[in-house]
Amino acid sequence: MKNTWRYFHQYAWFILWLGVVAMIGFVQHHVLKATKQQQPVFKACQPTTNVMFLKTHKTASSTILNILFRFSEKHNLTAALPNGNGFHLGYPQLFRATFVEEFKSIGRNFNVMCNHLRFNAQEVRRVMPNDTFYFSILRDPATWLESSYVYYKDVTPAFRNSKNVNDFLASPWSYYNLTEKNWNIYAKNQMWFDLGYDNNAVYDEYYVQSVIQDVEQNFHLMLIADYFDESMILLKDTLCWDLDDVVYFKLNARSQSTVQTMSPESKEKTKEWCTLDWELYKHFNNTFWIKIQERMDLKTLYKEVERLQKRQKELMEMCLSEETAVEGNKVKDKRLKPFQSGTAKILGYNLKPDLVNETLTSCKKMIVPELQYMAYMYSRQFPDKNKKPIDFK
């Protein structure tokens, strides 16, 4: 009996030892496995937080502005906003650092710059830190011209007296007067102008190539509006941002009823009329696709695009009562109505009426038009300047 007990005792220690060994193995195996599974969550890169976006006109850039303001709030960043009551950073004058609110006191400690301005590298560098990521967006000049025509018809002498965009392009020089060029920037090579160059310069291969080289030096990335979702994936990947950082609802877009149909001849004619922008666009469309292929194969790209669109749809279903954009006059909350211009019917959104708390706030931020969002950013950064911004709660 005594012996049996002793044997049992030794046996029990053995069992216990076996158990401990097995447990260590089990724990190690599972912890390692869990770490491995989590690896995609722990990014090898740090998100870029100093960004300068040159907001070009009629290129889906309002949607990007919204993305950048949301990102600024998420990371508590400081944006270089227009001083006083300005809507943009001195446009169409060449940019100067003093156009930025509180440049004197904040100096070179801004993180984000994304309001309309005419690019001037030296002065922008006085505001933005030296590790800033510079990017912009370009669009096919033909569809760009049609959009600009409808949106800026009233303020552009060259557009005002023509019947429609096809009529204008049939004989542009009979409408476009070089002595009124300050008001005609919306009619000819405006992307070239926004980048800081002369939109009325005569085409010359050497000149065009030198400008393109200059742009290549000043900007790390040029997105292409005609491939907007692909652009968002490339941007997110390049800046090490999350998918949700670049999920968007299209802002400042027009109702299809105000889009004019361009004849094939008009489209061809734009390449000649806006030849500087056409050269710019061709070059950067090319480098855009090269940059994508340096980072991922096309299969990965389209998988990512699909993920983006799925998330966008999910958020639209969660946030919007119509689950799509509506005409400006159908926006029920007047404070969320987008600015209207020319004959363009700019679309807006209605939120679901029962949204509360964080969901309400994050949904509202995705749909708020740019002027309203800018006023909010302003009051967030300069609370004592007494502006009454939109309420996100």
Contact positions toward ligand NAG, by CB under 6 A? Answer: 76, 130, 177, 179-180, 282, 285, 289, 356-357
Cα–Cα dist 118/136, whole Å: 12
Tell me how far, at minimum, the Cβ of 289 lies from ligand NAG, in Å.
4
Tell me how far, at minimum, the Cβ of 12 lies from ligand NAG, in Å.
54
302 residue type, one letter = Y
Tell me how far, at minimum, the Cβ of 215 lies from ligand NAG, in Å.
17
Closest to 65 in 3D by CA, of 365, 384, 386: 365
If the CB atoms of residues 282 and 291 are measured against ligand NAG, the closer one turns out to be 282
Q: Take residue 183 and report the two structure tokens written for it.
A: 């008001």
Tell me how far, at minimum, the Cβ of 94 lies from ligand NAG, in Å.
23
For 372, half-sphere exposure in the C-beta direction (CA atoms, 13 angstrom radius) is 19
β strands within 228-344, DSSP E: 326-327
If the CB atoms of residues 282 and 311 are measured against ligand NAG, the closer one turns out to be 282
Q: Take residue 155 and report the two structure tokens written for it.
A: 């303020």
Cα–Cα dist 235/60, whole Å: 14
The sign one gets for the Cα dihedral 334, 339, 343, 348 is negative
Tell me how far, at minimum, the Cβ of 177 lies from ligand NAG, in Å.
4
Tell me how far, at minimum, the Cβ of 88 lies from ligand NAG, in Å.
24
Alpha-carbon dihedral 247, 134, 336, 242, rounded to 10 degrees: 20
Tell me how far, at minimum, the Cβ of 352 lies from ligand NAG, in Å.
13
Helix (H, G, I), strand (E, B), or coil: what is residue 186?
A: helix
Element (H, E) at 287: helix 275-295
Closest to 197 in 3D by CA, of 184, 183, 207, 205: 207
Closest to 65 in 3D by CA, of 83, 89, 93: 89
Tell me how far, at minimum, the Cβ of 278 lies from ligand NAG, in Å.
8
If the CB atoms of residues 47 and 94 are measured against ligand NAG, the closer one turns out to be 47
If the CB atoms of residues 199 and 381 are measured against ligand NAG, the closer one turns out to be 381
If the CB atoms of residues 62 and 278 are measured against ligand NAG, the closer one turns out to be 278
Contact between residue 306 and residue 229 where contact means Cβ atoms under 8 Å apart: no
Cα–Cα dist 321/372, whole Å: 21
If the CB atoms of residues 131 and 205 are measured against ligand NAG, the closer one turns out to be 131
How many CB atoms are closer than 10 A to CB 186?
22
Cα–Cα dist 229/246, whole Å: 9
If the CB atoms of residues 35 and 177 are measured against ligand NAG, the closer one turns out to be 177
If the CB atoms of residues 72 and 372 are measured against ligand NAG, the closer one turns out to be 72
If the CB atoms of residues 62 and 189 are measured against ligand NAG, the closer one turns out to be 189
Determine phi and psi for 100, rounding to 5 degrees. Answer: -90, 130
Closest to 364 in 3D by CA, of 389, 383, 391: 391
Tell me how far, at minimum, the Cβ of 74 lies from ligand NAG, in Å.
10
